[in-house]
């Protein structure tokens, strides 16, 4: 009879030991560092996302390794996971991930740099987002117009300007490593970037400019005059004014000959001194592989391009499409 009384006690003891062991295992998994990653990972948590959706994102990035443990830990801690952009350490534990998400303070800032922005516009954006000082970035990146690759980046606040600069140029190197881009290609790509509306037009525009170069004609590219005009207009501005200066000012016919600059292709022969903006990969590819044609001129309106082979044909297009008073290419 005594042995029968011992059975429930043994079962209870085994259950207690099992629960303790399970609890210790759970606690170990929650606090153990991630062993799957070698670099920081960034995740965007959007407003209204469920725990399941957040869990899936973290699993896909390799930030957490156990879906069940993570969801159970969130439930037990009763912490509210908040929206934002987060950068997680490669060794972050589940507990650290939950604590970071519950804190709700985004650890990174999302910055999208569009194709065709010039260096100063990028510096304005980075300064406005609190990532770095406008002038500090200009001092480091000044001679790298064209190689600050347009893309979406994640930076930390008050980041080292040199590290920010390297992210741009390393991204450029990654996207162009198999293209053998020459300086001339990059300069032409920057002009194409400011001229083209659609990707399909980029090779044609690049080809037209190549034809003009081959014939010793001036490029007569409006964006180069805009670049020269902006340089002169911004030259004597204060720092506060530079931070809000609106680049790519509109130009008039008179501006073609007004701004004496090595960038203004209405005055200088051949390509301008350097890139006038930071082009995307499609414009770079177009400059390297331009479309072959006999066209020497073009104009565009409402996203459509109108190429022509002669100045007479071009003038007719101007009258028919734009009106005779508008500038020519």
Render pLDDT for 60-101 as a digit per residue (tens, 0 to 9). 999 998 999 999 999 988 889 998 888 888 888 999 999 989
Q: What is the pLDDT of residue 18?
A: 67
d(C-alpha 155, C-alpha 132), whole Å = 10
Q: Around Cβ 228, how many Cβ atoms within 10 Å?
A: 27
Superfamily of the domain at 35-107:
Endolytic murein transglycosylase (3.30.1490.480)
Q: Is the predicted pLDDT of residue 326 greater than 60, yes or no?
A: no
134-192 tens-digit pLDDT: 999 999 999 999 999 999 999 987 889 999 999 999 999 999 999 999 999 999 999 99
Total-model pTM:
0.79
Q: Which of 160, 159, 272 is nearest to 223 (CA)?
A: 272
Three-class DSSP category at 125: helix
Please list the residues that pair with 58 across neighbouring strands.
none
Per-residue pLDDT at 6: 67
**Length reported for the chain:** 329
Secondary structure tally for the chain: helices H, strands E = 14, 6
Cβ count near 320 (within 10 Å): 10
In sequence order, what are the residues at sequence separation of 6 or more whose Cβ sits closer than 8 angstroms to the Cβ of residue 204?
291, 293, 295, 298, 305, 307
Share above pLDDT 90 across residues of the chain, in percent, rounded to a whole number: 67
The arithmetic mean of pLDDT across residues 247-274, rounded, is 96
The string of pLDDT tens digits covering residues 220-244 is 999 999 999 999 999 989 999 999 9
The ranges assigned to domains in the chain are 35-107, 119-293
Q: Where are the alpha helices (DSSP H) in 156-201?
A: 161-176, 183-195
d(CA 186, CA 276): 9
Q: Annotate 89-136 with DSSP letters as a single string.
A: -TT--HHHHHHHHHH---SSEEEE--TT--HHHHHHHHHHTTSS-HHH
């Amino acid at each position: 009879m005594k042995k029968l009384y011992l059975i429930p006690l043994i079962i209870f003891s085994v259950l207690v030991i099992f629960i303790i062991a399970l609890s210790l295992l759970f606690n170990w998994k929650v606090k153990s560092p991630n062993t799957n990653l070698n670099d920081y990972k960034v995740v965007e948590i959007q407003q209204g996302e469920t725990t399941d959706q957040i869990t899936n994102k973290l699993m896909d990035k390799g930030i957490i390794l156990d879906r069940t443990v993570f969801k159970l830990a969130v439930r037990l801690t009763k912490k509210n996971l908040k929206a934002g952009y987060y950068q997680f350490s490669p060794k972050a534990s589940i507990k650290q991930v939950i604590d970071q998400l519950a804190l709700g303070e985004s650890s990174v800032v999302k910055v999208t740099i569009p194709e065709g922005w010039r260096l100063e516009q990028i510096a304005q954006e980075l300064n406005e987002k609190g990532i770095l000082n406008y002038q500090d970035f200009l001092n480091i990146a000044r001679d790298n117009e064209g190689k600050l690759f347009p893309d979406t980046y994640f930076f930390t606040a008050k980041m080292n300007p040199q590290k920010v600069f390297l992210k741009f140029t390393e991204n450029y190197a990654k996207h162009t490593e198999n293209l053998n881009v020459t300086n001339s290609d990059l300069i032409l790509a920057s002009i194409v970037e400011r001229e083209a509306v659609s990707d399909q037009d980029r090779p044609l525009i690049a080809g037209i400019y190549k034809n003009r170069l081959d014939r010793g004609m001036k490029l007569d590219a409006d964006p180069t005059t805009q670049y020269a005009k902006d340089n002169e207009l911004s030259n004597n501005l204060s720092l506060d004014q530079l931070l809000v200066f609106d680049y790519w000012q509109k130009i008039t016919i008179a501006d073609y000959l007004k701004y004496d600059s090595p960038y203004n292709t209405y005055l200088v022969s051949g390509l301008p001194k350097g890139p006038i903006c930071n082009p995307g990969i499609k414009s770079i590819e177009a400059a390297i592989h331009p479309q072959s044609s006999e066209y020497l001129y073009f104009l565009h309106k409402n996203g459509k391009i109108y190429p022509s082979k002669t100045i007479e044909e071009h003038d007719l297009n101007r009258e028919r499409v734009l009106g005779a008073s508008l500038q020519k290419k």
